[in-house]
């Protein structure tokens, strides 16, 4: 194996596959980047067994003198290429199991790992793709991923449910205390599916997709899904099990509807929640740590919290519109509320409430396909 | 106690005293900010028992309706003022041991702590100051503090030695493996002193001093030192004990002198040291983790490292000048060398070597008062 490649092109591709390297694994070969060089292209592969990434480099700067293959420790290799200023990188696999790297005035020889130890990665067959815009995938991940559970107690809740029925795609993330739902009508018709993708995998995918508005092709198999984007194949395992039917959680009638300037509401909640200790999933039932919203027929809405150890906080936010059948108080986890509000790009948001123990809905005035639902905390 | 103050002015002063709040303490009253309001001024005091900070606010925006005093939890109080957009802050101590804070549409009531529990802080008497430029104090801290010991094994090495003899101030930081020394000739005459200031305290002082070229007054007592800067008094305890005489460590004759472009050398060392595991004080004796410099009569100087697990790295750096009586190799901890090089603002640096087991000196070509000395690692 011997080749020359532009350093910037190489680093860009290494940065992509670096997302697939495990932080910790019992299978040491996974710390390696698998390099396969054919007479035309170079393939880089990484996997942490949850996600697997393969890039194909066919850049005009790539000059392959001799095809070959090797497995090289990802961390050290990427660190070297990252620190190098040189325009070109020369790579050569030496007879004594070392990878020779020549850059400007620097020469590196890294011990290679045993190529045969690397597990075989079966990528999904590239047939029958569902094509989506990258901007759509990115917004789905940003708007629903945060609502999934961080704890592995109920694994099904650590992923985002993607469900296609009659060309309507519904994406849901929930940790059972809050729920984010985005619906999209697809133009092209495609076979129905109902899968749960690990939220951690989606976060890594988000880091790889750049801001160019391009197409991403999605390929399915029973237990995995593959996203193909430019020269990158990003595959993740799916989460086993039945995702609960969440449609029944969504309220259908309301006691009160409030319209706020989003930033005013975010800032007021941020301030009052300083006084309330930050909630964790564990202590969220402690009512002292929740923020209260006072629904009245008056446009001056009071947001408050009280903490016996610290003190009391109260902010007034002026609602842009208010339609309340009765006056009541509702308590919520301020982090959940802030996450929900921040998922909207809208200037104005709507809160629809069905009473102080029923889930309430947060919507954007201009966003029609996204719902955030939060279960209140008993006061 | 009742007053109004401009929010930005107040926050700026709170940010300064926040440096004195302990991250952990067995004396809970220290989590508080002591506020003392006279008919003219407001004093804020914090202490973690190593450092104590007092600011005096006499801003034109400060409108005192009623003098008073209280002790208020620093974390929550500062967080609130930081998150507030309002122009003014109103503070009022209520009868029920709560501090009322009014900002725009927000009202906060924080439980105050028991003012009497706060330990009395004795600040050094403000007599007979040594006056220094803030830029000088900042450069001393930046150029010598990093070389002090991180471990408390030998407490004397966790501080910077400030020694004044015949109006020459010598500042030394060392962890016994490396040493940083800065000398300054003072214009004004002052009594000799020889003290060791905790490096951690100096780091906090550095964060408080801004970039205006002003004067800082230093006041001494047997076991503490006070820096007075604008409206801020910053006091720190001193480290007990005799700082060793470090003059004998400084080499007086050299086998080789090398002159390099600083950035070229820094980058080459950064790259080869990727292959060598990062040194900690614990494993610095392991020779495989050191970087080697090959001194030859040739201007192409080789920097290399070798790690049996990872591989070999070699970079060539072209010396701008070289004067070597003989050829030899020297090994060093790459982190120590990088710290030393980065302490210079010079474009060009000089390395003076006395052999492969003797300490070597790093200097700047234009900096005359700073020396960095590193003990080599046996190869």
The total number of residues shown for chain B amounts to 379
Which string of DSSP letters, residue by residue, matches A117-131? Answer: GSPP--PPP--SPEE
In the prediction, which pLDDT does B71 show? 98
Mean predicted confidence (pLDDT) in B322-345: 94
Are B311 and A268 a contacting pair at CB < 8 A?
Answer: no
What sign has the CA pseudo-torsion A111, A115, A120, A122? Answer: positive
* Residue in A108, A267, A315 nearest the CB of B311: A108
Which structural domains are found in chain A, ordered by start? 2-117 (3.10.150.10), 130-237 (3.10.150.10), 250-374 (3.70.10.10)
* B268 in reach of chain A (CB within 8 A): yes
Cβ burial, residue A282 (10 Å; 0-12/13-18/19+): exposed
Q: In a 10 Å sphere around its CB, with 0-12 CB exposed, 13-18 middle and 19+ buried, how is residue A151 labelled?
A: exposed
Cβ distance A80 to B108 less than 8 Å, yes or no, reads no
Tell me what the mean pLDDT of segment A91-120 comes to: 96
Q: Taking 80 as the threshold, does the pLDDT of residue A359 lie above it?
A: yes
Residue B287 has pLDDT above 50, yes or no: no
**Which pLDDT score is estimated for A289?**
60
Q: pLDDT at position A279, please?
A: 46
A76–B310 CB contact, under 8 Å: yes
H-type helices in A261-342, by residue range? Answer: 262-275, 334-342
Residue B96 forms contact with A (CB below 8 Å): no
Query: End-to-end distance of chain A based on CA atoms, in angstroms?
Result: 68
Token pair listed for B349: 């640096």
Amino acid B208: pLDDT: 93
Residues B195 and B243: their CA atoms lie apart, in Å, by 8
pLDDT at position B276 is: 77
With a threshold of 0.90, tell me whether the complex ipTM lies above it. no
Number of Cα atoms under 13 Å in the Cβ half of residue B198: 19
Q: Which residue of A has its CA nearest to B316?
A: A105
Distance from CA of A233 to the nearest CA of B (A): 29
Predicted confidence (pLDDT) at residue A28 exceeds the cutoff of 60: yes
Which of A266, A311, A313, A319 would best serve as a mutation to test chain B binding (most B beta carbons within 10 A)? Answer: A311
In A186-299, which ranges are E strands? Answer: 193-198, 215-221, 224-229, 232-237, 256-261, 291-295
Say if residue A278's pLDDT is above 60: no
For residue B293, the surrounding DSSP H or E stretch is strand B291-295
Contact (CB, 8 A) for A43 and A123: no
Residue B134 to residues A3, B74, B168, Cα–Cα distance (Å): 55, 27, 18
- Residue B278's pLDDT is 54
pLDDT of residue B289: 60
In the block, tokens 């005009």 appear at A60
Q: Where are the alpha helices (DSSP H) in chain B?
A: 7-18, 74-83, 134-144, 199-208, 262-275, 334-342
Residue A79: which of B83, B267, B274 has the nearest Cβ?
A: B274
Residues of chain B found within 8 Å of residue A273, distances taken between Cβ atoms = none
Query: Tens of pLDDT along A288-338?
Result: 368 999 998 888 999 999 888 889 999 999 999 999 988 999 999 999 999
Q: A92 vs chain B: nearest CA distance in angstroms?
A: 14
Number of Cα atoms under 13 Å in the Cβ half of residue B195: 18
pLDDT of residue A285 exceeding 50? no
d(CA B211, CA B274): 35
Pick A76's closest partner by Cβ from B111, B275, B315.
Answer: B275
- Give the per-residue pLDDT at A283: 45
- Whether residues A110 and B272 touch (CB distance < 8 A) is answered with no
Residues B89, B4: contact at Cβ < 8 Å?
yes
Rg (CA), chain A: 25
User: Chain B within 8 Å of A312 (Cβ-Cβ)?
Assistant: yes
Minimum CA–CA partner of B317 in chain A:
A105
pLDDT, position B275: 86
Mean pLDDT, rounded, for B9-15: 97
Q: What span, in angstroms and rounded, lies between the C-alpha atoms of B85 and A45?
A: 50
Residue A286 in this model has a pLDDT that exceeds 50: no
Mark yes or no for CB contact B312/A275 under 8 Å. no
Token pair recorded at residue B269: 């060392």
Q: Do A271 and B80 touch (CB under 8 A)?
A: yes
On whether any CB of chain A is under 8 Å from the CB of B317, the answer is yes
Residue A316, beta-bridge partner list? A302
| Calpha distance A360→B176 (Å, rounded) | 63
Secondary structure (DSSP) of A31-88: GEEEEEE-SS-EEEEEE-SSEEEEEEE--TT-EEEE-EEEEEEHHHHHHHHHH---SE
Q: What pLDDT score was predicted for residue A298? A: 86
Quick one: pLDDT band at residue B350, thresholds 50, 70, 90? very high
Q: Is the pLDDT of residue A236 over 60?
A: yes
3-state secondary structure of B299: coil
- Rounded Cα distance between A79 and A18, Å, is 11
pLDDT, tens digit, for every residue of A148-165?
999 989 999 999 999 999
Phi-psi region of A276 (alpha: psi -120 to 50; beta: other; left: phi over 0): beta
Identify all chain B residues contacting A267, using CB atoms and an 8 Å cutoff.
Answer: 83, 85
Rounded to whole angstroms, the Cα distance separating B179 from A365 reads 63
pLDDT at residue A280 greater than cutoff 50: no
- What is the reported pLDDT for B286? 40
A314 with B272: Cβ contact below 8 A: no
Nearest of A11, A79, A75, A70 to residue A37 by alpha carbon? A70
> Residue B232 contacts by C-beta under 8 Å, 6 or more apart in sequence?
B16, B53, B54, B55, B208
Cβ contact B275–A80 (<8 Å): yes
The confidence score (pLDDT) of residue B188 equals 86
Provide the phi-psi class of A166: left if phi over 0, else alpha when psi is between -120 and 50, else beta. left
* Chain B residue with the nearest C-alpha to that of A315: B106
Residue B94 to chain A, least CA–CA distance (Å): 13
With bands split at pLDDT 50, 70 and 90, how would you rate the model's confidence at B283?
A: very low
Count other C-beta atoms under 10 Å from residue B52's C-beta: 23
Measuring CA to CA, which residue among B64, B188, B91, B60 is closest to residue B132?
B188
* pLDDT at A19 exceeding the cut of 80: yes
Distances (CA, A) of B144 to B148, B149, B194, B211, B270: 7, 11, 16, 19, 21
Quick one: what percent of chain A has pLDDT higher than 90? 85
Give mean pLDDT, residues A50-64.
97
Q: What percent of chain B has pLDDT over 70?
A: 97
Distance CA A27, CA A115 (A): 13
Q: Output the pLDDT for position A241.
A: 94
Please state the rounded mean pLDDT for residues B25-50.
97
Per-residue pLDDT band for B280 (boundaries 50, 70, 90) equals: very low
CA separation for the pair B50, B205 (Å, rounded): 12
**How does residue B145 score in pLDDT terms, banded at 50, 70 and 90?**
very high
| Better-predicted residue by pLDDT, B288 or A135 | A135
């Amino acid at each position: 194996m011997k080749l020359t490649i532009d350093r910037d092109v190489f680093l860009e591709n290494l940065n992509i596959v670096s997302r697939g390297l495990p932080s910790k694994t019992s299978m040491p070969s996974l710390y390696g980047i698998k390099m396969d060089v054919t007479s035309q292209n170079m393939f880089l592969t990484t996997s942490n067994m949850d996600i697997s990434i393969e890039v194909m480099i066919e850049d005009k700067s790539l000059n392959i003198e001799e095809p070959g293959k090797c497995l090289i420790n990802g961390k050290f290799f990427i660190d070297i290429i990252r620190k190098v200023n040189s325009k070109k990188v020369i790579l050569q696999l030496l007879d004594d199991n070392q990878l020779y790297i020549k850059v400007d005035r620097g020469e590196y020889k890294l011990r290679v790992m045993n190529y045969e130890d690397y597990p075989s990665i079966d990528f999904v067959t590239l047939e029958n793709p569902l094509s989506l815009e990258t901007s759509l995938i990115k917004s789905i991940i940003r708007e629903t991923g945060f609502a999934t559970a961080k704890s592995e107690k109920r694994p099904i809740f650590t992923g985002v449910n993607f469900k296609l029925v009659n060309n309507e795609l519904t994406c849901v993330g929930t940790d059972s205390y809050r729920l984010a739902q985005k619906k999209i009508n697809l133009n092209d018709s495609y076979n129905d599916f109902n899968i749960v993708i690990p939220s951690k995998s989606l976060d890594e995918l988000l880091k790889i997709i750049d801001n160019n508005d391009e197409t991403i092709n999605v390929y399915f198999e029973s237990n995995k899904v593959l996203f193909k984007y430019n020269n990158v194949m990003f595959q993740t395992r799916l989460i086993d099990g039945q995702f609960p039917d969440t449609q029944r959680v969504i309220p259908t009638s309301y006691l009160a509807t409030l319209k706020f300037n989003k930033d005013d509401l975010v800032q007021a909640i941020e301030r009052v929640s300083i006084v309330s200790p930050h909630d964790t999933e564990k202590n969220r039932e402690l009512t002292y740590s929740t923020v209260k919203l006072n629904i009245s027929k008056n446009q001056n809405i009071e947001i408050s919290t009280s903490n016996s150890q610290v003190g009391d906080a109260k902010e007034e936010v002026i609602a842009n519109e208010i339609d309340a059948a009765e006056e009541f108080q509702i308590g919520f986890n301020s982090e959940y509320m802030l996450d929900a509000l921040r998922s909207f790009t809208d200037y104005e948001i709507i809160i629809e409430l069905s009473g102080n123990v029923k889930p309430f809905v947060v919507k954007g005035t201009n966003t029609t396909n996204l719902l955030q639902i939060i279960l209140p905390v008993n006061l």
